[in-house]
Amino acid sequence: APAKAKKIPSKGNKVELSSDGEVEEASWEMEEEEDGSSEEMVDDYGASSSEEEELLPIEKAALKQKPDRGGLSEDDSEEEEEEEVAEKAVEEASRQKMGQKEEESSDLQLNLDIDEQFKLPTTEQIEKEDILFISVCDSLTVFLPAEPPDLHVIHQRIKGNMEVLQDFAVKREEGRTRQEYLALLRQDMAAYYSYSDFLLMKLMDIFPLPELINFLEANEVPRPVTIRTNTLKTRRRDLAQALINRGVNLDPLGKWSKTGLVIYDSSVPIGATPEYLAGHYMLQGASSLLPVMALAPQENEHILDMCCAPGGKTSYIAQLMKNTGMILANDSNAERLRSVVGNLHRLGVTNAVVSNCDGRQFPKVCSYLLWAVLGGFDRVLLDAPCSGTGVISKDPAVKTNKDEKDILRCAHLQKELILSAIDSVNAASETGGYIVYCTCSVMVEENEWVVDYALKKRNVRLVATGLDFGKEGFTRFKDRRFHPSLKSTRRFYPHTHNMDGFFIAKFKKFSNAIPQAQKEPAVEAATPSAVPDTVTEPQPKRKKVEGSKVDKEQKLPQPALKKRHSLQAQRRPLKA
């Protein structure tokens, strides 16, 4: 019986049909041979036809076409050649990649060798980088570097220099001092990270060298976007679900915060969602939540936010107080108060009063309101103006536009503000008497120095902030020694806590009296034997004065003397 020919279309077959239909005839002949001698058919790998049944239809079609390669058309042969050429190209590309990997590995090995044998650059190499081209045109001098700096070379030099400084006694070059290595490191970091020499010197005094590199690297990356749930209008769970439905990828901020959410990415603008416009959340950095948590406001208290703009901390205080009590939101900049008023209205805050006053003069200007009406504040939050060295990722201009005068100017202003904040608090408050001082700076002059100054000038002491994380404040810095209680202050860094650099200190006021400058006791303590003399000193002075009066009376003429004695006799009864 003749074999029945059945045409099965080969799915996924890349071979195109020719115009005369040669490929179709070949496939028909293949089907006939399959039906007639299926038992004798063996594939290239020696598998029987029973194994062939397990193959996919695409693989079966490929096996059918292998015996008839000779009968394929010219187009098919051209396609085979193209496939072979493509395979060769793939092989060559893989070989090239392997060669590149070997070259990279050799380069890495060379770099390791260079790092192990790090040596300070010669004076000629330094001169090449430091030589400046000067052009003068109409009294205009332009300074340009002779060669642009190679950042890759500088980065490798920083790594090698760091390794030498960490084990200086073993890896240092003979005849070289540590100061030379540090000067080169500071110069390279200034070129690589674009910092001023002044700011790098300050940061090198604060951080150890490995931690300094981490701090500088963290400042090159923006901090995560965080929001604070407004519990006056919604719950965090409901807000998170609403934002997820709008295509926002988010997570809880951390175990330490019950209201914070961190935003990873979003398909909609976070500052323009219906939830934002309705006041369900506030765009606020994670570090800005910490001062309010340290302040721990209670319901029905009187609280002063001395530098309140743009209103994030003020609204958080109102949220914790559940719109009870009274908050005085003060700021010296009238333009910034507009954003405060807008945020308070949007978030539904009803217990806040906004004022425009200089914080340094607040106890004097508002003394009647402060003591006669309010009886002093229970708590004060002072987020003082600072140099901004903790938020360099937000404002890179801080890298180069700050100098010693700016730091000292900020420190002087902060000292005036903190004394004013302490004077505004009532130490006799039943629930309060606390002051929280915070800055977004990492400079010691603006943080521990100011706190130590306040401890000496007012009747306050430092207490625990109530925050479970953060690094302790400095009790000693270079040649300065601060009060031991500064261990209770907290520092936050971008490379450690993934938030803006921040400093927080919490005071407890125990007396409303202002201590006077104690100059006389210091002299008495230096000379204790002089104490009885100070008591008996006025008596001999009086004798000398009386004797001088007698001498003057004796010099008076006789009639005048009689008249004076008579007047004195008349005044005696009156004195008695």
| Residue 274 among known ligand-binding residues | no
| Residue 149 among known ligand-binding residues | no
Cα–Cα distance, 415 to 424 (Å, whole number):
15
257 backbone dihedrals φ, ψ, rounded to 5°:
-125, 135
CB atoms within 10 A of CB 384: 25
| Residue 385 among known ligand-binding residues | no
Pairing of strands 326-330, 302-305: parallel
Reading the block at residue 239, the tokens are 């807000």
Query: Which one of the listed residues 366, 386, 438, 440 is annotated catalytic?
Result: 440
| Residue 309 among known ligand-binding residues | yes
| Residue 325 among known ligand-binding residues | no
| Residue 2 among known ligand-binding residues | no
Is the CB of residue 329 less than 8 Å from the CB of residue 314?
yes
| Residue 388 among known ligand-binding residues | no
Reading the block at residue 323, the tokens are 């719109």
Burial class (CB in 10 A: 0-12, 13-18, 19+), 371: middle
Is the CB of residue 305 less than 8 Å from the CB of residue 313?
yes
Task: Give the Cα-Cα-Cα angle 494, 204, 438 (nearest 5 degrees).
Answer: 45
| Residue 331 among known ligand-binding residues | yes
Cα–Cα distance, 461 to 463 (Å, whole number):
7
Point out which residues pair with 509 in neighbouring strands. 460
Reading the block at residue 118, the tokens are 């790090």
| Residue 71 among known ligand-binding residues | no
Q: What is the CA radius of gyration of the chain?
A: 42
Reading the block at residue 213, the tokens are 């590199």
Cα–Cα distance, 553 to 159 (Å, whole number):
92
| Residue 364 among known ligand-binding residues | no
Point out which residues pair with 504 in neighbouring strands. 438, 490
Is the CB of residue 240 less than 8 Å from the CB of residue 272?
no
Mark whether 137 is an active-site residue: no
Nearest partner of 12 among 71, 78, 69, 56, judged by Cα: 56
Nearest partner of 218 among 447, 501, 440, judged by Cα: 501
Q: Which residue has the tokens 């603008």?
A: 269
Longest dimension (CA), the chain: 178
Q: Which residues are catalytic, by number?
A: 440
Q: Which residues are annotated as a binding site for S-adenosyl-L-methionine?
A: 307-313, 331, 358, 383
Q: Which residues are annotated as a binding site?
A: 307-313, 331, 358, 383
